[in-house]
Chains A and B, each alone.
Chain A
């Protein structure tokens, strides 16, 4: 079957595979995410993606783009909490640093805060290096029932402990505020409960950093910190390896790349490697205490949110 949930398509595929296996309908499922985006120029890509938002009221009338959607959140967030463009840049610098250590990343090059600040404006206050790239990519995950795992003698299975989705308004102006994504908050609370874990148990997370502001919103929506404190986590290095909560240590959407429909599946591939402690190079392996990983995959600007919690 084919599923579609904008940038959360990969997670929607995993969600569908999970429900098919957990209901007993099948005992083995393959979730594949694939996207080929680089045959068109940037303005065409922006056109096609922009039309996936609130088409009539935001795209047709006003040409709102996806960088623009998140820029509206960035402006509101910085104004409310005093975060700066430098704070946003720190997210890109961190994710490029890990991208440089990931042989599968689209960008394997470190950047500086100055590189980000001096890159050209896409949708102010977001600049080129605040944005995830246009990417070709694919990823696949096999899901199996407990019986099938035993039968196939899988020695290090990783289990889906919790998985949840929620949705937000299609039209941005119906939302209460622009400092967090309600859909991500709701989905994460359901997923934590289902998995029987708390925020403190999460050893490593993959979050949807389609734009730098989105990673800060994710820290807060997931409860990694209080509302308005996300930029302090990146300032203090709390989301690096060795920090309290390593996030996007495969480079994230920002440096690993963001092949729309493949991203959600790719997050689960990375977390599986992290939980099995088989990441190469070893310097990119997060320390495991509870063997719990969390994937946060957003479609649109919180039009859809999927949270998946893995356990070993």
Chain B
């Protein structure tokens, strides 16, 4: 931090609601144990994370599609220096995998020792409800 003279600010804490009206089905799906993507009705392009509008053909006609979650690891990192809002977590592994359906997903990878993580390993994306009640999803080794 700066060695120059400073005065201390007030403490700022921000918490807010994140709008999900266009992806509500996705968040509801997680609670039901399902991973949903969206597919453009017009050009058939599949999206994960889901989108409400197709960036390929600009159509807003999308179908919800349940994904297998099964995929292959493309890359990963272990986050050691964490943001303030993640300081309560132990260092975590973030991975990107290509799912069987041809889309990629990014999430934490858990349930595997660091030294056993290899690019190309089979993983499965699964919904998760955290201890503090957050609905999310993570990779597990398959």
Contact = CB atoms under 8 A, between A and B. Distances in A.
A173 interface: yes
Contact of A39 (B6, B74, B92): B6
B85 interface: yes
Nearest to B6: A39
B77 interface: yes
B119 A79 contact: yes
A72 B75 contact: yes
A309 to B, nearest CB: 30
Given A63-B79, A173-B96, A43 B136 contact: no
B110 to A, nearest CB: 12
Contacts of A64: 79, 94, 106
B87 interface: yes
B81 interface: yes
A173 B107 CA distance: 10
A25 interface: no
B89 interface: yes
Interface residues of B, number: 34
A172 B106 contact: yes
Given A63-B92, A64-B94, A68-B94, A178 B83 contact: no
Contacts of B74: 76, 178
B96 A178 contact: yes
Contacts of B107: 61-62
Interface string A16-52: 0000000000000000000000111111101100100
Contact of B81 (A46, A62, A174, A175): A46
A47 B85 contact: yes
A46 B80 contact: no
Interface stretch (A81-89, A121-129, A137-145, A283-291): A121-129
Given A58-B106, A60-B18, A63-B92, A75 B80 contact: no
Interface residues of A, number: 43
A173 B77 contact: no
B120 to A, nearest CB: 9
Contacts of A60: 18
Interface in B83-142: 83-87, 89, 92, 94, 96, 103-108, 119, 136-137
Interface in B67-81: 74-81
Contacts of A42: 81
Contacts of A79: 75, 119
Nearest to B80: A121
Contact of A173 (B18, B80, B92, B104): B104
Contacts of B103: 173
A39 B1 contact: yes
B63 to A, nearest CB: 18
Contact of B79 (A41, A65, A76): A65
B113 to A, nearest CB: 14
Nearest to B119: A79
B42 interface: no
A104 interface: no
Contacts of A47: 83-85
Nearest to B49: A57
Contacts of A126: 77
Nearest to B19: A56
B119 A76 contact: yes
Interface of A: 38-44, 46-47, 50, 56-65, 67-68, 71-76, 79, 120-126, 136, 171-175, 178
| Complex A-B, nearest 6 residue pairs according to Cβ-Cβ distance, in ascending order | A71-B77, A47-B83, A38-B2, A63-B86, A76-B75, A124-B78
Given A58-B106, A123-B79, 14 more contacts: A39-B1, A61-B107, A61-B136, A61-B137, A63-B92, A63-B94, A64-B79, A67-B79, A79-B119, A123-B77, A126-B77, A136-B2, A172-B96, A172-B106
Interface of B: 1-2, 6, 18, 47-49, 74-87, 89, 92, 94, 96, 103-108, 119, 136-137
6 contacts: A38-B2, A43-B83, A62-B107, A75-B75, A122-B80, A178-B96
